């Protein structure tokens, strides 16, 4: 059904008129031109399409856009503040925590959500929290290290 929906996207109020059953992933990528959020599997298995809705990681390929009406959505593009990378983005760079970079936006967003819920996760908790985000290049070791460093940075550990 075509509806006009309102939500906050990366700190900006947006209003879109769309078929509200369409998945958020595609509305972000095509209607709104935010292509940082990636398609990897379309069925909720890979996490490439992860965005934050109310600070929680959500798979945008499985989220009908009507469900985010009135909510606060943050995509990878929204993490950059005044040109400055978010601590998780920074530690991903410091650890070279990617190769092709395709899984990276989803990994970073998922890590943000994880750290929001649990600012001091143990290594095992990070593994569990990142488990369903897939990376084919095998950057897992560095991603874990980057999330550990980001946690330290965020809680002011250094």
Among 42, 85, 125, 148, binds ligand FES (CB under 6 A): 42
Number of continuous H segments (helices) and E segments (strands) in the chain: 5, 5
| Range in contact with ligand FES (rule: CB under 6 A) among 7-15, 101-109, 123-131, 144-152 | 101-109
Among 52, 98, 112, 115, binds ligand FES (CB under 6 A): 98
Among 9, 68, 103, 112, binds ligand FES (CB under 6 A): 103
Using CB under 6 A as the binding rule, the residues of this chain from 2 to 41 that contact ligand FES are 39-41
Using CB under 6 A as the binding rule, the residues of this chain from 54 to 83 that contact ligand FES are 59, 61
DSSP string, 106-146: HHHHHHHHHHHH-SS--HHHHHHHHTTS--SS--HHHHHHH
Sign of CA dihedral 5, 6, 7, 8: positive
How far is 127 from 132, CA to CA, in rounded Å? Answer: 9
Whose CA is closest to 96, among 144, 128, 152?
144
- Would you count residue 101 as binding ligand FES (CB under 6 A)? yes
How far is 88 from 98, CA to CA, in rounded Å? Answer: 13
Query: Residues in the site for another protein, rule: CB under 8 A?
Result: 19, 22-23, 25-26, 29-31, 33-43, 45-46, 48, 75-77, 79-80, 85, 89-90, 92-94, 96, 98-105, 108, 126-128, 130-144
How far is 129 from 131, CA to CA, in rounded Å? Answer: 6
Give me the least distance between CB of 132 and another protein, in Å please.
8
How far is 29 from 24, CA to CA, in rounded Å? Answer: 8
Comparison of 68 and 139: residue with beta carbon closer to ligand FES:
139
Residue 103 DSSP code: S
Binding site for ligand FES (CB under 6 A): 39-42, 44-49, 59, 61, 98-103, 135-137, 139
């Amino acid at each position: 059904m075509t509806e006009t929906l309102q939500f906050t996207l990366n700190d900006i109020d947006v209003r879109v008129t769309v078929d509200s059953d369409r998945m958020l992933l595609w509305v972000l990528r095509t209607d709104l031109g935010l292509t940082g959020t990636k398609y990897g599997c379309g069925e909720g298995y890979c996490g490439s399409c992860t965005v934050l809705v109310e600070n929680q990681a959500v798979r945008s390929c499985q989220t009908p856009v009507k469900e985010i009406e009135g909510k606060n959505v943050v995509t990878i593009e929204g993490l950059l503040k005044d040109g400055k990378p978010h601590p998780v983005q920074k530690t991903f760079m410091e650890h070279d925590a990617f190769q092709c970079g395709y899984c990276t936006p989803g990994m970073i967003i998922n890590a943000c959500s994880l750290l929001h819920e649990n600012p001091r996760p143990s290594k095992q908790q990070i593994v569990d929290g990142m488990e369903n985000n897939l990376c084919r290049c095998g950057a897992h070791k560095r991603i874990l290290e980057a999330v550990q460093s980001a946690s330290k940075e965020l809680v002011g550990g250094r």
